[in-house]
Structure 1
C-alpha cells in the first residue's frame, strides 16, 4: 500500500483520570556490586507493575483473555503483573502519564498520544493470527436492516455518505484508531463530510463491543469496529456476531504497539523485551487473535501520525471561516510536519 495514502488525523480530546503516584525504582548500588546485583535490586524495588489494557470489550470479556497472559508475564519478569482495565482509551494514557500504568498494549492512535504526554516508548508490535502486522477497520450493519443489502451493493462507504441524513451512526471512541481515526479520514475527511453534522444521529459508543451490540440490537444503523474484535465476538457473543454484516473495510492499519514508560529501569525493560519477543504459547495467545510479537520502534507508527496530519489538511480545505491565504499557510505548516516524520 502506498504509505502516503494512509494519512489522517482525529481531534485530540481532553483526558481525565485522578493523578496517581509516579513509579520510582531504586537502581543505585551503594557498594559497587556487579551488574547482576543491580538487576536484582531493580526487580526487588518494584513490587508490582500495572499493565494497561484498552477497552475494546467489556471487562468481563477481557479478564479470561488477559489474566493468563499476565500470569505468564509475571513468571518471566519476576514481578507481579496486574492487568489495568479501563473504560476509555484516554484513561490508560493518563494512567501511564501519572505512573499508575508502567506498560501497556495500546492502539496506534492512543500510542501516538501516549508518546507525547505519557513518556511511552514502543518496543514490540503485535503479529496477527495470519502472520500479518496489521488489522482493519470495518463499518457494520445489521443483516436484517433494510439498508444493509443496499449498502453492500453501492459500496458501504459511498452509501453511508449519500444517505447520512437518514442514518444513525456510532463511532467507537475518539481515541480509537480503527473505531474513529481511520474511518474518519477515509470515509469523511477525504469526501469533505463533517460526521457531526451529516447524520440523523451520531454517538460515541465507548468501545468496539458496544458498537457491535448497538448494531446487533438495532439501536444504531451503522457503526465502526475492528476485524479483530469482530472475530472475537464469534466466541464471546456468537448471537450478536451472527446479526452483523461488514459493509466496508479500510486499508491495512499497523498492528498494535506494546509500550513501556521510558523511566522504567533498563533491566526491567530488557525482561519485558525478552518476554514479548519470545512468547509463543498458542493456547494463551489464541483468544487474543494474535500469534506473537516482534521487535518494534516508535517510527513503526509514523503512518498513524501521517493519518492525523492528513485529516487536518482535509479539514482545513473545508473550513469556511478561513481565507484562502490562511488555508495555504496552515496547509503548508501541516505539509512541513509530514516531511519531518517521513
Structure 2
C-alpha cells in the first residue's frame, strides 16, 4: 500500500510538471512569435516612421499579439523577405505583389482607397517651365531630356511608364534608350523633388502619392505639369503569407477597414481601406508578363 501511494504521488507530480512545462512552452512561443510586416518605401523611410509606429500599435492591439512593422529600403527587399519566410504580411506595389504571388504565393487581402476608389494612375510630370506639354513632346525631344523613374520595381514609377515609352520607341532599359539620360530615384518623393528642382526634365510617379505630396506641402504643386496619365491601376495591396490562417486574415481585414487615423492614411495618400483579391491585379500581371518580369 505504501509503495502504491508513493507511486501515485510520483505520477501526479510528473504530470503536473509536464503540464507546467507545456504551458510555459506555449507562452514562450507566443512571446517569441511576433507578426511581422514589411512595407515598401512609397516615400523616403524617415517620412513614414511615425505613421508605421501608429499602425504597429493598432495591429498589436487588434491581433492581441506583438506586431512589428518595418519599412524596407527598396521594393525587391520586401519580395525577398516574403519569399524566404521572413515576414508574415507585406505592403506591396502592384508589380511587387504579382512577383511575390508568383514566387511565394502571397495573397492580397486589403488595398487602399483614394477619394473612395481603389484606383490610381501613373503620371509623367515635368516642371512648369518645361517646354514639354504632352508625351508626344517628350518623345520628340527625348535626346534633350534627363528622365527619372522611381524604384525599378515600382508599378507606376517604372513598369507602366516604361511600357508606354517602349511602345513609343524611346526606351528599352536603363542603358538602352533615346533620352539624354535615365535614372532610378528609388522613391516617388525623390522623383518629384528631382523634377521640382529641375535636376531632371521629366519623371514618372504614382498619382496618389503625387497628390499627397502636394497636399502635405512637401512639394509645390504650382511648379508641375502632368503630361501623361495611364489607364486606371488597382491600388497597392496588403498581402499575407500563403500559410496565414483564416482567423488572422479576418482580424487583419477588420483592423484595416476600421483605420481612420489621418497620419496613417496620409502616409499612403489614402482615404481609407477596402478588401482586395488576387484577381484585382490581373492587368498588372499581364504587364509584367509582357515585360518578361514573370513567366506566363
- Select the residue among 26, 33, 40 that pairs with 1:54: 40
Select 1:141's aligned residue among 123, 126, 133.
126
Deviation at 1:242, TM superposition (A): 4.1
TM-score by length of 1: 0.71
In 1: Cα distance, 2:91 partner to 2:285 partner? 18
Runs of at least 5 residues in structure 1 that lack an aligned partner in the other structure: 1-30, 32-39, 313-333, 338-342
5+ residue gaps, structure 2, are 1-18, 20-25
Query: Aligned ranges for residues 55-74 of structure 1 at < 5 Å?
Result: 55-74=41-60
Q: Distance in 2 between matches of 1:41 and 1:300?
A: 39
Aligned counterparts of 2:278 and 2:81: Cα–Cα separation in 1? 20
In structure 1, which of residues 212, 215, 223 is the aligned counterpart of residue 203 of structure 2?
Answer: 223
The number of equivalent residue pairs is: 268
Cα deviation digits, residues 29-65 of structure 1 (max 9, x gap): xx9xxxxxxxx98993663222111112111111132
Question: SS at the partner of 1:198?
Answer: coil
Q: CA separation in 2, counterparts of 1:262 and 1:310?
A: 26
Q: Could you say which residue in structure 2 is the equivalent of 1:185?
A: 163
Q: 1:262: which partner in 2?
A: 242
Q: Give how far 1:270 is off.
A: 2.9
What CA distance in whole angstroms lies between the structure 2 residues aligned with 1:141 and 1:43?
A: 53
3-state SS of 2:254 partner = helix
Match of 1:78 among 21, 40, 64: 64
Q: What is the CA-CA distance between 1:109 and the residue it aligns to?
A: 0.3
Q: Deviations over 1:148-174 (max 9, x none)?
A: xxx22xx2x111111111110011122
Structure 1 position 301 matched with structure 2 position 281: yes
Q: Secondary structure at the match of 1:202?
A: strand
Alpha carbon RMSD of aligned pairs, Å? 2.6
Conserved? CA contact 2:192–2:219, under 8 Å: no
2:184 paired residue number: 204
Structure-1 residue corresponding to 2:144: 166
1:239 to 1:260, Cα distance in 2 relative to 1, 3 A = closer
Q: CA deviation at 1:85?
A: 1.0
SS at match of 1:274: helix
TM-score by length of 2: 0.82
